[in-house]
Structure 1
Amino acid sequence: MEQFTTVEGLKAGLASRRGSSVGFVPTMGALHEGHVSLVKRARAENDTVVVSVFVNPTQFNDKEDLRNYPRTPEADLEVLRAAGADVVFMPSVEEVYPEPDMRVFDFGMLDKVMEGATRPGHFNGVAQVVSRLFEFVKPDRAYFGEKDFQQIAVIKALVKQLGLNLAIVECPIVREADGLALSSRNRLLTPQHRAAAPAIHTALQEGAAQAGRRSVADVCGAVTARIEAEPLLKVIYFKLVDEDTLAEVSDWNGTGHVRGCVAVQAGDIRLIDNMRFL
């Protein structure tokens, strides 16, 4: 496994592999089995697997959140070696942003609802870093976990806007045995909040079982109430949206699939999850 910290080094390292298919997994480190599943999928579908480990400052609208985001570079390298990565890119902020990135992207409503509404500027920062990483790596396929469902929609729109010949591969959410979606932030939960957090998945399951049988408003209310029955959890939002447009649905009679998307405050930690409802 090759490691690079500079764009120049990465490009030189990849130059010798040109002609082979390249799968790319962008991460912010603090790797877990969810990330491993992305790397293994990329390994099965490509000749070369590239993984980036970079905590991108431009997608954090909370400086405290950026400061506290877990960083485990040595452990990450061991995880990636075992998972079968060929190339790891671990740059500094200055390497990715030698000058401030002033680009502003327009994704219509995709980046203005849910996470976009509650974390202003977040998806513009995601677009800034992902577009740069795509430029550095020039992959054939890029792999993203469905836990960040809205992010995938934004990145697909980004690829279309930039006219990139690149497939975005969506990979299923990986969960703990008790249902909690794997996240690098989980390790920051207190034991008490970690014990309460599986209620998020339980509420989504119960809500999905009611889809089409109760009104959208009733299901939304039931999911929120089920999560907040845990005193340590507070729902930031729960939305039932069209999977393609992310437009909020008001009934079950549309032609597209409906997905329930939720963000929950668990003490100091923000958790997100989602599930197909219909």
Structure 2
Amino acid sequence: MRLSLSRLAIALIAAFALTAFGVRFFLPAPARPDAASAGLDVGVASACSPGSRAGQAGLDDSVKTADGLKITVRTPSDYDPTRAYPLLVVYPPAGQDRRGAEIFYGLTTEATGRGFIVAYSDHLRLSRQAVSQQAKVASTVESLFCVDPASIAYVGHSDGATMAEGITASVPDSGVAPRAIVASAAGITREDLDTLPCPSVASVLIVHSRADALFPDFGRGAAAYWGQCAACAPLDLEGIAEGCRDFSGCAAGRRVAYCETGGPHSRWPGMNAAMLDFIQGAAAKSP
């Protein structure tokens, strides 16, 4: 089992990293967002024994996988190390380290307020080895923080979206299976995905812009793949204007949705609340 990416796609992603994101390294770094309080009714109480998790609450920049991949972990400000929280693994777009990715996505405050532990990893150039390394992020965080293994989601944009989809489809032995995937502007085609076995994921949201000049129409093909994997009824995606649409008739309560937006490839869609609603099982909302 392997992730297949065309040479053209990899070259385009590399060029994108140098232009759309690279210039940010020369600008003053914005302040990191604050974590929010989640309250005492989130997660699973008494799921972890006292002292069994060594992760630092609030902001922990010291986390690394066994391969040395650096991870930033943000917990709710009132994190309880004995309570199991849902985990949001956020993979970086091209050219971003974990701090840059946290600022780019703008997810930390709202996600922690909803009770998520959020993990941001450094970017690795796309390759089979990078997929294998990024696949260890969730299990690494789970070993250090009290995580609900049944409530893990992968999120990403561009390279990050390719990782979110590719890890799930090509690394089934990563030790952690996501319940949900949200992939925006992924550089992975239907043909790439068709070479892989269908993974079992409860909820998949594909977001793509009709104005994406780097990966035009890639999102529709990826959504069709995930719809087929979930045994959903076929859905005509060609007529979608800006907005979201769910596939119908999916097997075993699974859910697949496609959202089409209108911004450039470099822009993260302004629909964080809708994405988190989707992950938490709420009805999809238009961006």
Question: What TM-score do you get using the length of structure 2 for normalisation?
Answer: 0.30
- Higher Rg of the two aligned structures: 1
More helix by share: 1
Question: What TM-score do you get using the length of structure 1 for normalisation?
Answer: 0.31
